[in-house]
Structure 1
Amino acid sequence: MSTDGYVIGVDFGTLSGRAVVVRVSDGAELGSAVHDYRDGVIDERLPDGTPLGPDWALQSPQDWIDVLRSAVPEAIAAADIDPCDVVGIGTDFTACTMVPTTGDGTPLSALFPSRPHAWPKLWKHHAAQGQADRINTLAAERGEPWLPRYGGKISSEWTFAKGLQLLDEDPEMYQAAQRWIEGADWIVWQLTGVETRNVCTAGYKAIHQDGAYPSAEFLALLDPGFADFTSKLGHELSPLGARAGSLTARAAAWTGLPEGIAVAVGNIDAHVTAAAADAVRPGQMVAIMGTSTCHIMSSDRLAEVPGMCGVVADGIVPGLWGYEAGQSGVGDIFAWFVEHNVPASYAKAAAEAGVSLHDHLTEKAAEQNAGRHGLIALDWHNGNRSTLVDHNLSGLIVGQTLATRPEDVYRALIEATAFGARKIVETFEASGVPVEEFIAAGGLTRNAFLMQTYADILDRPLSVIVSDQGPALGSAIHAAVAAGRHPDITTAAATMGRRTPAVYQPDPQRAAVYDDLYALFTSLHDTFADGAIMHRLRELRAGDSEMPTAPER
């Protein structure tokens, strides 16, 4: 089997898309480019000014096409290769990012630009929590067999909750949406001219288990008009690493690539990163850490793990069960704190030192001993994905005094995200799914203090992916398999992916302190897990209840 040639991996993220050129024979990354989305996250109003409600998050399909037109040619130029030597292209996407389209794949946002429900709902669109609650309640009452595969709850971020919101709030757009398709599959459709659905997004985000979606009977009980919903999803699923089709002339003109090369089946950004880290064997948990964190792991055993995001046959690599869990906010929490809660004097000091405000706060936080700031925080600023599956929860910091400084809170927030990760790991192991290696990937791996804190709190060594472009490299690896240059994903990952084992070792003294703090975190976690207080605060913030009139004085 020839391993000549190059492949392209394209990663469609939350704020930008990136392309990387990779050599098939050894995984060397020869060139890359990034294209920032013009519209970014559409969360306050549509491009024409139409306002959106709370917890909305949309995107523009044009931004994704612009990545193909911009980042791919720029990456090829940076790699200084002949495009004719490229043998395949693979893509990955945020999930669950749902696109309502006509039967030929035209996004409804192009036809109805002033209708919010015509636009793609980004993964972090959380306005469908009420619909998710209805689905979960009915599924639990009926004992639906698929519910335990998702830890007992499905998320407001997922396919069916967002689809039910579409029906509830804009029935006309629901009828117009002949297809309800993941961005991961829509972009492959644009590249190949062929509609495909991948087993990964269908399994994790669209409740496809044991060869079927939820029954029409179940869906009709949610709403009679919802009974036909799965007709919009497609039923033939393509395995990961397969060839979805060939690059069309139109897509070749966008990208500068040869017409007819292999296009890999779509994939989720987090799940495809496992190949880039050569972490596709049982027990290897990969934490893809960025604005949020997704924890994915393959296993040779099937178990019901409370609060997980799903367990799917062949969901990461064929032949193994693929597990997913996650944290809805990590880097986003640090960014929120830096943007809104740090005095100007800190920004000035960072500028004078020639470092970012994040680096400045990290340096000051690292000077402390573990536990000396006297704080404990919950990492729920963007809700809780695992293990509580409640996106209406909110953040909490306990222990602040008039002496609390910004670096204290910054460190407490870093620790909170690590405590959240430990909660996920312990839940898996308590359910009989051992985590034998914890591998960090994503942009946050560049922060050595954060990585060491995770090692100390998890009390286990941390391995780190070598590539800075994990999802894009993973997509390129899948492209190499789709192009027939490697026989399967496991073989391709061993040749083209890599990680550095046990880069960070836990410090026994800090780990002991963090054991005590983790006990406090767990107590706080369990106290607020029912959401009673946080949900009520959320209602008041949204103005969903009558506020008492202030007494006259």
Structure 2
Amino acid sequence: MITDSPAVTVGVDFGTLSGRALVVSVEDGAELGSAVHEYAHGVVDGELPGGGALPPDWALQIPQDWRDVLRVAVPAALAAAGVRAEQVIGVATDFTACTVLPVTADGTPLSEVAAFADRPHAYPKLWRHHAAQPEADDIVAAAEASGQGWLARYGGKISSEWQFAKALQVLREDPGVYAAAERWIEAADWIVWQLTGAENRNLCTAGYKGIHQDGAYPDAEFLASLHQDFAGFTAKLEHPLSQLGSPAGKLTAQAAALTGLPEGTVVAVGNVDAHVTSAAARALEPGHMLAIMGTSTCHIMNSDVPAEVPGMCGVVRDGVVPGLWGYEAGQSGVGDILAWAVRTVVPQEYAAEAARRGVPVHDLLTEKAAAQPVGGHGLVALDWHSGNRSVLVDHHLSGLIVGLTLDTRPEDIYRALVEATAFGTRTIIEAFTAAGVPVGEFTAAGGLLKNTFLMQTYSDVLGRPINVLASEQGPALGAAIHAAVAAGAYPDIRSASAVMGRIERAAYTPDPARAAAYDLLYAEYRALHDHFGRGGSDVMHRLRAMRATRTSSDIPSM
């Protein structure tokens, strides 16, 4: 049924495994309809589509999967909303980051060029591609040695997930692909290129993932110190940066045919999924931290002052909203770690019980874990199964569980891992506070909000109330808000967020007794955190190196 809504925008959220399109009323932010399209190839981390095994820590994607989201999800969302395409005044996209790809001068991904289809480095590297850790380490060492001022803006560390580390890995391991890459571009900007027909680069990804500070990238002399052929790398990046919430261009005839939207529809500048969600959650004011909690967690907060926070992912002027310094930190694994527990530690009888009761195994473990007192399992874990993004910025760290006995049950491990992820967030908050950027308010968003036990645990561990985003589609809603600003419906992101955003305040409040008990357990977590993460023992790095070098040809199997 066609509605009478006069104006809507479309937000398209490109996630790790799927993309979602959301139709939103410009007048009040009401979510009118949505659709999801699963990527046909998901995360490519075992072998390329045409064959060819990938080493450990690799994570790639297929550009056609992203185009298919535009082709399938956008028309389906319009149909679900019951609106005419002509009612759409703007469209905006957000993406995982740093998800980056090499392309030709006209934007063609090298993975779609026949000569490079069988070469892994020609494919987009997903945010969780961590195989560039050696390159990240070398960038940090060189920056420290040469006194690069920009290093402090990233808490003293550069991540293996980011543009420069991934590009340096390509140069070292496949110089032919590196030379053929005329442009090196974030997927957040590439998808806008597909919609408008013209290259556009956003300030957010350049600042947080591309070491762009104070109007410049690292200079040629510094880059040459890493590799002589790396000196000219920024030529693959150079392009004027566009302010968030501004128009990047208009929908081309080809993109209109793909999406079902009218040719000439305003397309907003690209953005990162976590950062764009701040507008959806009305978390734009200084000191209001937003945690976007899913497979990983990203922490976003604005401040009116710049500061050096150890292990943050960056502080960027205008990086989230114009006029403020935007801070980012994060945890590389949260939901992924809980999913690992379900895959790994659940015995057959638990799976049978869950099936008999008709509930997911996650729900069964949550129910059993919630029945325990704090510390009743006798365990403490480190949440580093995907490495540590903040505050240690070391993706070659690994998970740890201390206190296992023959009496340890699956729910004990599950609860310890939930608590570990909460401890990781508390570590990040304390780092910000110690650096002079206090966290005054805390809001959560993302798929993990469905787990009420997990959210209550976070409130108890943090010892503070937790607001929640009152929408299940935070990034897509945030993108739709940016689309409304780009289309001229609102003068700026803050005013659009105030009308179109959604927040439920103090949805969870801490229990004093549990919070006090968690203080004791958190002290044990910090002791392990600092021992294994700050040089007390390098065993995690040694084991990872052993795994990488010991192949079946080195040592006979039994």
| TM norm structure 1 | 0.98
Q: Contact conserved, 1:146 with 1:209, CA < 8 A, in 2?
A: yes
Runs of 4+ aligned residues of structure 1 deviating over 2 Å after TM superposition are: 543-550
Aligned mate of 1:179, from 159, 177, 183? 183
Counterpart position of 1:541: 547
Within-5 A mapping of 1:54-93? 54-93=56-95
Q: Deviations for 1:5-26, whole angstroms, at most 9, x for unmatched residues?
A: 0000000000000000000010
Cα deviation for residue 4 of structure 1 reads 4.5
1:154 aligned onto 2:158: yes
Q: What secondary structure, in the 3-state scheme, does the structure 1 residue paired with 2:19 have?
A: strand
Distance in structure 1 (CA, Å) of the matches to 2:88 and 2:313? 36
Distance in structure 1 (CA, Å) of the matches to 2:41 and 2:238? 29
Q: Contact conserved, 1:539 with 1:545, CA < 8 A, in 2?
A: no
Counterpart position of 1:5: 7
Q: Which amino acid aligns with 1:532?
A: D
Distance in structure 1 (CA, Å) of the matches to 2:65 and 2:555? 47
Counterpart position of 2:225: 221
1:292 aligned onto 2:286: no
1:525 aligned onto 2:520: no
Q: What secondary structure, in the 3-state scheme, does the structure 1 residue paired with 2:126 have?
A: coil
Counterpart position of 2:465: 461
Q: Deviations for 1:116-153, whole angstroms, at most 9, x for unmatched residues?
A: 00000000000000100110000001110000000000
Q: Which amino acid aligns with 2:56?
A: P
Aligned mate of 1:21, from 4, 20, 23? 23
Q: Which amino acid aligns with 2:110?
A: L
Q: Which amino acid aligns with 1:542?
A: A
Cα deviation for residue 235 of structure 1 reads 3.2
1:169 aligned onto 2:168: no
Distance in structure 2 (CA, Å) of the matches to 1:350 and 1:499? 33
Gaps of 5+ in 2: none
CA RMSD of aligned residues (A): 1.3
Distance in structure 2 (CA, Å) of the matches to 1:4 and 1:246? 20
Cα deviation for residue 354 of structure 1 reads 1.2
Distance in structure 1 (CA, Å) of the matches to 2:463 and 2:531? 24
Q: Deviations for 1:46-93, whole angstroms, at most 9, x for unmatched residues?
A: 000111111000000000000000000000000001111100000000
Cα deviation for residue 500 of structure 1 reads 0.5
1:279 aligned onto 2:272: no
Q: Which amino acid aligns with 2:65?
A: D
Q: What secondary structure, in the 3-state scheme, does the structure 2 residue paired with 1:146 have?
A: helix
1:361 aligned onto 2:365: yes
Q: Contact conserved, 1:54 with 1:127, CA < 8 A, in 2?
A: yes
Within-5 A mapping of 1:379-528? 379-528=383-532
Cα deviation for residue 546 of structure 1 reads 12
User: Quick one: structure 1 residues 463 and 236, their matched pair in 2 at CA, closer, same or farther if it must change by over 3 Å?
Assistant: same
| TM norm structure 2 | 0.97
Distance in structure 1 (CA, Å) of the matches to 2:241 and 2:103? 19
Distance in structure 1 (CA, Å) of the matches to 2:532 and 2:99? 29
Q: What secondary structure, in the 3-state scheme, does the structure 2 residue paired with 1:355 have?
A: coil
Cα deviation for residue 361 of structure 1 reads 0.3
Distance in structure 1 (CA, Å) of the matches to 2:464 and 2:474? 22
Q: Deviations for 1:366-386, whole angstroms, at most 9, x for unmatched residues?
A: 010111000000000000000
Distance in structure 2 (CA, Å) of the matches to 1:317 and 1:268? 12
Within-5 A mapping of 1:312-327? 312-327=316-331
Q: Which amino acid aligns with 1:92?
A: D
The number of residues matched between the two structures is 548
Counterpart position of 1:144: 148
Q: Which amino acid aligns with 1:451?
A: M
Q: Contact conserved, 2:200 with 2:239, CA < 8 A, in 1?
A: no
Distance in structure 2 (CA, Å) of the matches to 1:7 and 1:388? 39
Q: Deviations for 1:342-394, whole angstroms, at most 9, x for unmatched residues?
A: 11111111111111000010000001011100000000000000000000000
Distance in structure 2 (CA, Å) of the matches to 1:20 and 1:32? 4
Distance in structure 1 (CA, Å) of the matches to 2:39 and 2:552? 40
Q: Deviations for 1:307-364, whole angstroms, at most 9, x for unmatched residues?
A: 0000000000000000000000000000011012211111111111111000010000
Distance in structure 2 (CA, Å) of the matches to 1:13 and 1:549? 39
Q: Contact conserved, 1:10 with 1:91, CA < 8 A, in 2?
A: yes
Cα deviation for residue 233 of structure 1 reads 0.6
